[in-house]
């Protein structure tokens, strides 16, 4: 099979391709037949948002026999000449010469016809929804963000490491983990009976990872600067528009660095990836600005150009208490910030991303460094408009005795994390890191309201299709 030209490349280099003989592959979006014996086919190959118009002259025997079979959803190969187009909104079109129909789509059964479909409906046809404009644009943006993330960290001198998906640790200490076992659940016995696990594959309780952070700390304290980028899992029975059971996390860790360094890295990362996206994915972003979130481009430009607003947790609480807002959740020092609080700070008070630092000690996990006041930890949450928290990070507790005290306060067994404690005994150093959820980042840059639309195959309570 000869090499086809991508439709995106045709549009990028119209002057080069005009008048040349090319072959394209793709799926038919629509076909319109004129009374003059000409059919116009809108073809899309997934490489860009824009369709290529294909002109079929029905008086040509080579094209006439297949013209009526080119129904919406059909997969085709078309050869022809690229010529100037007199049509509105396009400057080039393909005059077809040869057509190969690879796969026909029955119009009576193909569910993606020329109309708007609800996102709820599209989730029921996950094998076809990437062919829609919205989900196709999401996939391209997600791809570009992933590329930009890797590019950023490589340019910053970070090493990419692969942390385990199957672990024995629960980084967040929340217990919302998926257990991994080969035991027959009908014969496993009591869940906490350690003797049962002698018959299991790993001979101990194991889980799907909730974070690669603890393992990344090991390598940061050997290589200096590392990052991991992979799937993470939370067995949280939540059906909100912001939560998934399986999602992707970017987690850098830096040795010889503190919370200020952590915050600066997060700022540079967001600036880099958003700037890259504005430069390379303008068509897809404009699509979302037109159909999803009118203020999207202004919001992204703000992230690309302005620094975060940095406030302490205590300052955030004071601002929220003074706000003329009827919050559903009361604001008190020591309580976690809710989504409505985060959105007020980013969308109304500052109208830009906000980094909240120095949270109450009791709110955060055991590994965060205790500040000199003994009441707060060196933590940060980066909040963005519409989404809320997008990055969570901290300086890690490098002092062995303070770490052990934190574990006792949180009810975490030092024996179960003996290796983590031992890292503080052999060449301990100040270090820090953060986690950035890829799906929330995609939500932010597209304006989409539900996180289930920004991952190819969403995993939520009761839903694990494909």
Q: Where are the domains of the chain?
A: 7-114, 131-174+210-453
Residue 27 pLDDT greater than 70, yes or no: yes
Average pLDDT over residues 238-255: 91
Average pLDDT over residues 279-284: 97
- Tell me what percent of the residues of the chain surpass a pLDDT of 90: 81
Among 51-65, 129-143, 271-285, the least confident range: 51-65
Sorted by sequence, the CB contacts under 8 Å of residue 251 that are 6+ apart come out as: 163, 211, 212, 213, 216, 227, 228, 229, 433, 434, 435, 436
Return the closest-CA partner of residue 92 out of 193, 16, 182: 16
Q: Per the CATH hierarchy, to which homologous superfamily does domain 7-114 belong?
A: Nucleic acid-binding proteins (2.40.50.140)
Check if CATH label 3.30.930.10 holds for domain 131-174+210-453: yes
Residue 188 pLDDT greater than 90, yes or no: no
pLDDT of residue 243: 85
Which tokens belong to 269? 């990362």
Handedness of CA 105, 111, 117, 118 (dihedral sign): negative
pLDDT of residue 176: 83
Which tokens belong to 143? 């791809």
Sorted by sequence, the CB contacts under 8 Å of residue 242 that are 6+ apart come out as: 339, 387, 388, 440, 443, 451
Average pLDDT over residues 351-379: 97
pTM: 0.93
Which tokens belong to 383? 């909040």
Among 55-69, 133-147, 257-271, 437-451, the least confident range: 55-69
Residue 87 pLDDT greater than 80, yes or no: no
């Amino acid at each position: 099979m000869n090499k086809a030209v991508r439709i995106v490349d045709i549009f990028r280099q119209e002057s080069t391709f005009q008048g040349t003989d090319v072959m394209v592959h793709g799926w038919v979006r629509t076909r319109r037949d004129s009374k003059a014996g000409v059919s116009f086919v809108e073809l899309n190959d997934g490489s860009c948002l824009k369709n290529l118009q294909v002109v079929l002259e029905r008086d040509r025997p080579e094209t006439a026999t297949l013209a009526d079979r080119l129904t919406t959803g059909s997969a085709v190969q078309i050869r022809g000449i690229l010529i100037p187009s007199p049509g509105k909104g396009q400057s080039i079109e393909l005059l077809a010469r040869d057509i190969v129909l690879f796969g026909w789509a029955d119009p009576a059964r193909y569910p993606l016809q020329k109309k708007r479909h609800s996102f709820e409906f599209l989730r029921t046809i996950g094998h076809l929804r990437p062919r829609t404009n919205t989900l196709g644009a999401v996939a391209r943006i997600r791809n570009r963000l992933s590329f930009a993330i890797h590019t950023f960290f490589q340019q910053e001198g970070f090493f990419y490491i692969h942390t385990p998906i199957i672990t024995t640790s629960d980084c967040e200490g929340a217990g919302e983990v998926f257990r991994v076992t080969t035991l027959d659940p009908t014969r496993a016995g009591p869940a906490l009976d350690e003797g049962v696990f002698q018959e299991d594959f790993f001979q101990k309780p194991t889980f799907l990872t909730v974070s690669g952070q603890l393992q990344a700390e090991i390598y940061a304290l050997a290589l200096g600067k590392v990052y991991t980028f992979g799937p993470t899992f939370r067995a949280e029975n939540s059906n909100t528009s912001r939560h998934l059971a399986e999602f992707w996390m970017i987690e850098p860790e830096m040795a010889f660095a503190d919370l200020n360094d952590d915050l600066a890295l997060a700022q540079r990362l967001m600036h880099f990836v958003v700037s890259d996206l504005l430069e390379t994915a303008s068509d897809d972003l404009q699509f979302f600005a037109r159909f999803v979130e009118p203020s999207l481009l202004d919001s992204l430009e703000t992230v690309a150009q302005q620094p975060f607003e940095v406030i302490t947790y205590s300052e955030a609480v004071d601002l929220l208490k003074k706000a003329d807002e009827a919050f559903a959740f009361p604001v008190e020092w020591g309580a976690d910030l809710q989504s409505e609080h985060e959105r007020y700070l980013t969308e109304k008070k500052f109208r830009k991303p906000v980094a909240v630092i120095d949270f109450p000690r009791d709110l955060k996990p055991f590994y965060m460094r205790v500040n000199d006041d003994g009441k707060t930890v060196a933590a940060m949450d980066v909040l963005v408009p519409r989404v809320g928290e997008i990055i969570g990070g901290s300086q890690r507790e490098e002092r062995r005795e303070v770490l052990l005290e934190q574990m006792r306060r949180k009810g975490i067994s030092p024996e179960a994390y003996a290796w983590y404690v031992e890292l503080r005994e052999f060449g301990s150093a100040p270090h820090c890191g953060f986690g950035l959820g890829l799906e929330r980042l995609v939500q932010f840059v597209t304006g989409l309201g539900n996180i289930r639309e920004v991952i190819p195959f969403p995993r939520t309570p009761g839903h694990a299709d494909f």
